Amino acid sequence: MSLFRKKSIEQLLGNSANEKGLKKTLGAGSLIALGIGAIIGAGLFVRTAAASAEAAGPAVTLSFVVAAIGCLFAGLCYAEFAAMIPIAGSAYTYAYATMGELVAWVIGWALIMEYALGAATVSIAWSEYLNNLVGGAIPYQWCHSPFEASAAGVSGIMNLPALFILLMLTLLLIKGTQESAFVNAIIVFIKVAIVLIFIAVGWGFINPANHTPYLIPKGVAGHEGIFKYGWGGVLGGAAIVFFAFIGFDAVSTAAQEAKNPKRDMPIGILGSLAVCTVLYVLFSYVLTGVANWSEFEHAGKEASVAYAIKTYMTGYGWLATAVTVAILAGFSSVILVMLMGQSRVFYSMSKDGLLPAVFSDLHPKFSTPHKSNWILFVFVGLFAAFVPGSIAGDLTSFGTLFAFVLVSAGIWIMRRAEPNLERPFKTPLVPLVPILGILVCAGMIVALDITTLKAAGLWMLIGFVVYFSYGKKHSKLNK
């Protein structure tokens, strides 16, 4: 019995067509909004200043372009798969069709790091920003984990705001995908509007001297490394801002709920990536024009945008508060899409027998995987309420990059194994684009710190134990 047994495209599509499953309610516009909802979070407001101060200077705009090109390689591969195999499950489903069951399990297990742990980490950050917005009105012990203590010696008990936002978004997801997409679209409108207002207003406060020189010159103190100045600094900045693009792949988890997936999935994936890239470049150009990049080394990464507004944009103090609101909105939509993506991956794995049937049990009225949503809320909620957010941040990045590598490899494999399959959207320049996607994303994985890689390895070992003790013998292909 092979560990690399595959589900054919015909099997995947046939099973989907014959079952009473997820409702098809999403159009191209909703899918683009889902992508933007997952991508534009605090990354835009935090990573921009960090990359500018640490590596790229004003040329952080070019760093965003480089990072977008890296994401584009993986995005093109996702678009071909999502149009060809419009099934819930994203990279997990694609791996099952191209590289077999064991690899599919591995990537499904890795996606838990991207979606579930990512949602927990972002909900903890949501709690922090909410407390900042209300002037620290929430007592320390009720917005921090038991493993954290304040400078005054107050120990945390549990993070109630993080638990609250997870509960609200879980209830929304159970109500329905269409309702979730509608709320997400409202949130996306709010945060994109605030980003556009900052760009429009800030443009008038740009000081051209702050963009000269555009690249950090050699010899600047604290920028001695090869990736700390010049064009090397642009690449170093790209590595920092890359993670501000994470999320477009979550669009592919909703493929089974798209009205016309062959047309709409590529539009949703590549469209959201394009919109966010344009916003990122304009935003970073204005931010580094309003305040000099060197100031962000001391102004505080998280408060960098508010600092630039309050210091240089006289009369627009209200915009600093609006930016905090945009960050909260951004966090909310990121959590929403991550929870949705994880439940859809669980749904597909359960349908294949690799996880218990409870994960694919649909609500009789709403046709959503409600039991999976509740189990996910308990798992993510425990993490968010009782564990510090710093622990899982880079694990989220590992899960994402690992998925990107396997999806890129899967396109190359599928082109060779099944050259005559109908492909509504074709990734250009195969195998060059998949190879570049593999190299760029593998390079990012190698650049992660050793502690993260060890933790990811331990998580994978736990996954193998679960697969060989349950998934392998309960697999539908085993019957």
The third-level CATH classification (topology) of the domain covering 24-472 is Amino acid/polyamine transporter I (1.20.1740)
Beta-carbon neighbour count of residue 153 at 10 Å?
6
Task: Answer whether 338's CB lies under 8 Å from 250's CB.
Answer: yes
Which secondary structure element, helix H or strand E, spans residue 470, and what is its range? none
Determine the pLDDT at residue 428: 93
Q: What band does 22 get if pLDDT is binned at 50, 70 and 90? A: low
Whole-Å CA distances, 133 to 128, 324, 327:
9, 7, 11
Mean pLDDT for the chain overall: 84
Residue type, 259: K
- Structure tokens belonging to residue 443: 């390079």
Beta bridge partners of 149: 155
**Angle CA 203–204–205, to nearest 5:** 90
Beta-carbon neighbour count of residue 473 at 10 Å?
12
Alpha helices in 143-260 (DSSP H): 160-175, 177-203, 230-241
Collapsed DSSP state (helix, strand, coil) of residue 151: coil
| 400-451 tens-digit pLDDT | 888 888 889 989 998 988 888 888 899 999 999 999 999 988 887 877 778 8
Residue 383: pLDDT over 80: yes
393-417 and 101-133 helices, crossing angle to 10°: 150
| 67-84 tens-digit pLDDT | 898 889 988 998 888 888
Q: What band does 162 get if pLDDT is binned at 50, 70 and 90? A: very high
Give the separation between CA 476 and CA 431, rounded to whole angstroms: 32
Q: Which residues of 332-359 are buried (b: 16+ CB within 10 A; e: fewer)?
A: bbbbbbbbbbbbbbbbbbbbbbbbbeeb
Residue 453 C-alpha from the chain's centroid: 19
Residue type, 234: V
Determine the pLDDT at residue 14: 65
Taking the model in full, what pTM does it have? 0.80
**114-134 mean pLDDT:** 83
Domain boundaries, the chain: 24-472
Collapsed DSSP state (helix, strand, coil) of residue 298: helix
Give the separation between CA 298 and CA 458, rounded to whole angstroms: 37
